Amino acid sequence: MSHLISIDEATSARLVTDMDRQGFATLEHALTAEALKDLRAYVERQAAKHNNQYFAYHGYPALADSALATLGKSAEFKALMGHMHRLGCGHDASSDEIFPVLRCVQGGTGRKESNSFHYDATLLTMLIPIYTPHQGKDRGDLILFPNLRKMRTNVLTNIIEKMFFQNKLVRKVICWGIHRNLLKPITLRVVPGNVYFFWGYRSLHANQACDPAFRRATALFHYGDPHTGSLATRWILKLNQYRARKAMANSNTTAS
Ligand SMILES: O=C(O)CCC(=O)C(=O)O
Ligand SMILES: [Fe+2]
């Protein structure tokens, strides 16, 4: 599939079952060594433009000419995501657009972007780890409270839930609860070469802190917006992009 990954229908059905039952699905050895090497070279070039501090690229213009953009636009990949969406919630997504993101948590400014628990705006999320810290205690694992909620038909309920969870105080409480073992999320050590799927809209999730000495780069592909075109969705996307720009501006000032 666009030379990056290839998944047949039987496998995609297995992935959906895994997401429903255990909250995430893993496709092992989904990337060839060559494909991973190319993605790393791309991230390396972009990281140099950001003084090796935090950066995130949202959408196609930012990712132009990358293998990630080619994958996100490929008809086969759209068909695969569409199939999984249908299996997961019983109906088609209202748009077959896939929204790509590249996040690179690195350097001192990456910390703030960790433990940032949220629900995605879209139902299905595919995560490609490109770099992960392979030493030390803080390796930027993916933390998931899987399938906590159903699809919301009311966009307002969705916004209220998002506002409740996505603020500094609640973030602190969640981290404290995890630390004290009162909350028991799934902690997934994501391994470059593999690809991961979860119901991003339904699962509260974040990446764990990672050692500032190491780079953690992930590509995310978001599919199936239950509230397509609504003001709220546009607002959430804008807010995410604004946050990413602000974090990047901060890292550039800190680094220079
Ligand atoms: O980088 C990660 O592990 C997760 C990022 C994420 O959840 C997102 O960008 O929506
Ligand atoms: Fe997310």
Indicate whether 145 belongs to any domain.
yes
pLDDT on residue 106? 84
**Is the separation of the CB atoms in 46 and 219 below 8 Å?**
no
Q: What is d(CA 89, CA 237) in angstroms, rounded to the nearest whole number?
A: 22
Indicate whether 227 belongs to any domain.
yes
- What distance in angstroms lies between residue 187's CA and the mean position of ligand 2's atoms? 15
Is the distance from the beta carbon of residue 113 to the nearest atom of ligand 1 less than 6 Å?
A: no
Indicate whether 89 belongs to any domain.
yes
Indicate whether 105 belongs to any domain.
yes
Ligand 1, atom 10, residue with closest C-alpha: 120
Which domain covers residue 17, as residue numbers? 11-255
**Is the separation of the CB atoms in 56 and 102 below 8 Å?**
yes
Ranges of the chain whose pLDDT falls below 50: 254-256
- Helix (H, G, I), strand (E, B), or coil: what is residue 183? coil
pLDDT on residue 247? 72
Q: Which of 130, 194, 205 to mutate to test the pocket of ligand 1 (most atoms within 8 A of CB)?
A: 205
Q: How many domains does the chain have?
A: 1
pLDDT on residue 236? 73
- What distance in angstroms lies between residue 171's CA and the mean position of ligand 1's atoms? 15
pLDDT on residue 110? 67
Q: Which of 123, 191, 198, 220 to mutate to test the pocket of ligand 1 (most atoms within 8 A of CB)?
A: 220
Give this prediction's pTM. 0.90
Ligand 1, atom 7, residue with closest C-alpha: 206
Quickly tell me which residue has 């791309």 as its tokens: 42
Indicate whether 5 belongs to any domain.
no
Structure tokens given for 58: 């949202």
Phi-psi sector, 51: left (phi>0), alpha (psi -120 to 50), beta: left
Is the distance from the beta carbon of residue 218 to the nearest atom of ligand 1 less than 6 Å?
A: yes
Indicate whether 3 belongs to any domain.
no
Indicate whether 6 belongs to any domain.
no
Give the environment of ion ligand 2: residues with CB less than 5 A: 120
Indicate whether 79 belongs to any domain.
yes
Ligand 1, atom 3, residue with closest C-alpha: 207
Structure tokens given for 234: 């546009």
Q: What is d(CA 226, CA 153) in angstroms, rounded to the nearest whole number?
A: 8
Where residue 205 sits, what CATH number does that domain have?
Answer: 2.60.120.620
Is the distance from the beta carbon of residue 207 to the nearest atom of ligand 1 less than 6 Å?
A: yes
Strand order in the sheet with 216-223: 25-27, 195-199, 124-131, 216-223, 98-105, 55-58
pLDDT on residue 255? 42
Nearest-ligand number for the alpha carbon of 103: 1
